[in-house]
Amino acid sequence: MLKRTVLAVALGVALAAAGVAAAAAVTQQSPRSLAASNATAGRVTLHKTKLGKVLATSSGRTLYLFMKDKNGRSACYGQCAGDWPPLMKKGTLRAGTGVKAKLLGTTKRKNGKRQVTYNHHPLYLYAGDTGAGQVSGQGLNFFGGKWYVLSAAGKAIKAAPPAGGGTTTYTVPTYP
């Protein structure tokens, strides 16, 4: 009987410790893991930013194109996809007000999953943008190409980011 009680207490303590560790891991997500976990969409919208109205997720997270992408195919994998999570298709694609449904599409990634495209540009979020309307990734030159927000016409907006263009402290590591 004493063995069972000690075993039950030990099991209870172990489960409680595991629960605390899991809760801590969930509440301490990095910007990269938050962006990656939110990088799915069924609806693409327009959102007002300091650069004007740009493509965004339904929650207002700014979407970017990567100038290195060619022929509607993503060139962003590995570490690149960690910092610039691809927007993956979830359910039926829908165009929000001002977004042209005929420009929405998908492209197949190396893992066989479908990435959302607009005017044949694969779409990405930026891990440094932590909230709606932020454009901290605008004009950055990482992973062999520049990153730009998109207009409703599906064109890169190449305007320089405004001073104080974002309220983030996330720093993208420098790669050779």
Domain ranges for the chain: 31-157
Cα gap 78→104, rounded to integer Å: 25
Question: Is the pLDDT assigned to residue 40 strictly greater than 90?
Answer: no
**Residue bearing the bigger pLDDT, 175 or 91:** 91
**Exposed / middle / buried, residue 175 (Cβ in 10 Å: 0-12, 13-18, 19+):** exposed
Higher-confidence residue of 40 and 59: namely 59
Q: Please give the pLDDT value at position 164.
A: 58
CA atoms within 13 A on the CB side of 130: 12
Residue 22: left if φ>0, alpha if ψ -120 to 50, beta else—which one? alpha
Residues 6+ apart with CB under 8 A from 142: 80, 83, 84, 172, 175
Mean pLDDT calculated for residue range 87-94: 94
Is the model more confident about 85 or about 34?
85
Residue 112 DSSP symbol: S
Mean pLDDT on 87-116: 96
| Predicted confidence (pLDDT) at residue 171 exceeds the cutoff of 60 | no
Which position has the higher pLDDT, 22 or 102? 102
pLDDT surpassing 60 at residue 32 = no
More confident residue, 41 or 92: 92
Q: How many CA atoms lie within 13 A of 164 on its CB side?
A: 0
Q: Which residue has the higher pLDDT, 160 or 139?
A: 139
pTM over 0.85: no
Residues above pLDDT 90, as percent of the chain: 66
CB within 8 Å of 90: residues ≥ 6 apart = 40, 41, 42
Averaged pLDDT score across all residues of the chain: 80
Tell whether the model's pLDDT for residue 47 goes beyond 80: yes
Output the pLDDT for position 45.
97
Half-sphere CA count of 46, side-chain side, radius 13 A: 15
pLDDT of residue 140: 97
Q: Which is more confident, 167 or 109?
A: 109
* Tokens describing residue 71: 């022929």
